[in-house]
Structure 1
Amino acid sequence: MTLQVGNILEGTVVNITNFGAFVEVSGKTGLVHISEVSDNYVKDIRQHLKEQDKVKVKVIGIDEQGKISLSIRQANPGKKSFRPAEIDWDSERKKTANMSFEDRLSKFLKESEERMQDLKKNQDSKRSGGYARR
């Protein structure tokens, strides 16, 4: 089968880098960027792929120089692993139905404070990870 945008083919992982994996398809090598490996965030691609793995890929682009862009996650559309959280609102109401207004308010304030502390901690860690301020 020829390489055309939109084709889904089987390929072999020939090399893995920090930014993606090179996959050989139809005698040519293309890149699966780390963002195209899974529907979920991929921190370390080596936890998902190994060299010589057989993978199903979709051709998502071929540029003028002949560079081939591939996607594993688009080749497997039925395997959507990311779904919004489902909340059972009835059970949430039942949990708080027996609580007084003051108890509900104190619970809300406690949870809000915990969330704010987490946000501040994450912001501080992002700030300290960059260049030093002068």
Structure 2
Amino acid sequence: MSVEIGSKVQGKVTGITNFGAFVDLPDGSTGLVHISEVADSYVKDINDHLKVGDQVEVKVISMKDGKTSLSIKKAIDRPEGQTSSYSQQRPPRSGRGDNRSKDFRPKGQFKPKESFEDKMARFLKTSEENLSTLKRNTGAKQGGRGGRRG
């Protein structure tokens, strides 16, 4: 049986790596099922889906430079117009500018705990305390009066 692009064939998993699985095809060649082509959902660990020695149905995606790319998820027959379950679960992506214009705060219910002036006064007080502490701790280290010069 010859293996051509677009054909579905049975194969045997002969090796598993972190990026995919190698499958022996009926014509004696070997192809690779990339981890993204194993299942419709996200595959974190390919060992959860395949084991060495498993018989799988694969679809030949491409053949370049003696390398055969295979897909398990594209080999599954689906009714016309039905897409993968993964794409049905995801909400449609919105444009980048959409989220910037939305204000998620409820209108009319926002009451600040303290006024702007109170916040500024608190900020100035803590800043002055921090500066005085910093000056006190670094003043002794700078040598001060009576240090030797030379």
Fold similarity call, TM over 0.5: yes
Counterpart of 2:68 in structure 1: which amino acid? I
Partner of 1:58: 59
Counterpart of 1:13 in structure 2: which amino acid? V
Partner of 1:46: 47
Work out the CA distance in 2 between the residues paired with 1:39 and 1:72.
Answer: 9
Work out the CA distance in 2 between the residues paired with 1:85 and 1:61.
Answer: 27
**Identity over the aligned pairs, expressed in percent?**
52
Partner of 1:80: 84
Equivalences, count: 89
Secondary structure, counterpart of 1:35 in structure 2: helix
Work out the CA distance in 1 between the residues paired with 2:49 and 2:11.
Answer: 15
Work out the CA distance in 2 between the residues paired with 1:84 and 1:18.
Answer: 26
Counterpart of 1:84 in structure 2: which amino acid? Q
TM-superposed CA distance for 1:80, in Å, is 3.3
Secondary structure, counterpart of 1:9 in structure 2: strand
Partner of 1:28: 29
Q: TM-score, normalised to structure 2's length?
A: 0.54
Partner of 2:148: none
Deviations 1:9-53 (A, max 9, x none): 000000000000000012111000000001110000000000000
Work out the CA distance in 1 between the residues paired with 2:29 and 2:15.
Answer: 13
Query: Larger Rg: 1 or 2?
Result: 2
User: Relative CO higher for 1 or 2, CA cutoff 8 Å, sep ≥ 6?
Assistant: 1
- Measured on the aligned residues, the alpha-carbon RMSD in Å equals 2.3
Unmatched 5+ residue regions in structure 2?
A: 92-105, 108-150
Unmatched 5+ residue regions in structure 1?
A: 87-104, 107-134
Counterpart of 1:38 in structure 2: which amino acid? A
TM-superposed CA distance for 1:85, in Å, is 6.7
Secondary structure, counterpart of 1:74 in structure 2: helix
Work out the CA distance in 2 between the residues paired with 1:20 and 1:7.
Answer: 20
Q: TM-score, normalised to structure 1's length?
A: 0.60
